[in-house]
Amino acid sequence: LLYEQHGEPAAVVQLKDLEVPKLGDSDVHVKMLAAPINPADINMIQGTYPLLSPLPAVGGNEGVGEVLEVGRRVAALKPGDWVIPADAGLGTWRTRAVFPEEVLLKVPSDIPVLCAATLSVNPCTAFRVLADFESLAPGDSVIQNAANSGVGQAVIQIARASGIKTINVVRDRPDLSKLVERLMALGADHVVTEEMLRKPEMKDIFKSIPRPRLALNCVGGKSTTDMLRQLQPKGTMVTYGGMAKQPVMVPVSAFIFRDVRLRGFWMTQWRKDHAQDQGRVAGMMDALCQLIRRGQLTAPACTEVPLQDYRAALEASMKPFVSSKQILLL
């Protein structure tokens, strides 16, 4: 799926037949199996993301493929192995590709294909934001908004597996009770709407669990300010997204009297910073794959779409209140 200019995805993305390039000595011929449509993919096509691929570009930053053939200098991969992108910007929305070996990460092929296809962005982001900013112990709590997003669903499950409680904020919607039920089934301890954040009843939650030391923000605007008020003194809020396209507003009192910390996180930057630290990357992937094998981490709610129906999938991924991730089957 190729785009030659930036613009609205359904208008600029086209399905084209291209020749598969010749296999070089350090290359890997990959048959792509499945690739999701993430908000960052949409923003890259629109031209609004901080990382843009040179045009013409193939869409997609995430997905899983099977190795068909390897160049004679490739030692770490063999036909039949499953691989995912080691970094953003790979262009995963295609059936076949020849990639240099170093842009791929091997993943076990005994995990479900949808888990592998959605492994490299959201679960990694969830894993890092839970691990890198506060040293959380079993019984501690975390509050997050956009709790039904891909990252949100992964945070609930990874926290649950570590004995950490989650308070999950979602927007009010027509089928709210269904969504609450789904997040509780994943292991959420509390699910509240943005409106409930402002109500005195929020205090009741903290009779049974401690106030959170960590807040995870993917929205911005008023709901983020309301979420910040729930943090413990000296707590940390990590912003990894801005779905509302509004700034984060913080009362001066939160800094002076509660000494809260505001931090940011971008998975793409983390990968750049740790490009030489393969042990740390492998450790994270290994921990996530073990959670998947134990049934403690599942793929986000997905809608599987054949490649030729890509336009419908692009449009569906941009609708408000989307609780299901569109996955292109390649």
Tokens 């969504």, located at residue: 179
Q: What sign for the dihedral angle of Cα 304, 305, 310, 313? A: negative
Q: Is 49 an active-site residue? A: yes
Other CB atoms within a 10 A radius of the CB of residue 54 amount to 6
- Contact by Cβ (8 Å): 36, 3: no
What length is written for the chain?
Answer: 330
From CA 75, how far away is CA 137, in angstroms rounded?
A: 40
151 contacts 125 by C-beta, under 8 angstroms: yes
Q: Looking at the chain, list the stretches that DSSP marks H as alpha helix, in order from N- to C-terminal side.
A: 9-12, 39-46, 113-117, 122-131, 150-161, 176-186, 194-197, 202-205, 222-228, 252-256, 267-273, 278-293, 310-317
From the candidates 3, 49, 240, 310, which is the catalytic residue? 49
The CB-based long-range contact list for 224-232 (8 Å cut-off, 24+ gap) reads 224/145, 224/248, 224/249, 225/249, 225/250, 225/251, 226/194, 226/197, 226/198, 227/143, 227/145, 227/169, 227/197, 228/254, 228/260, 229/197, 229/254, 230/143, 230/167, 230/197, 230/202, 231/143, 231/258, 231/260
Catalytic residues: 49
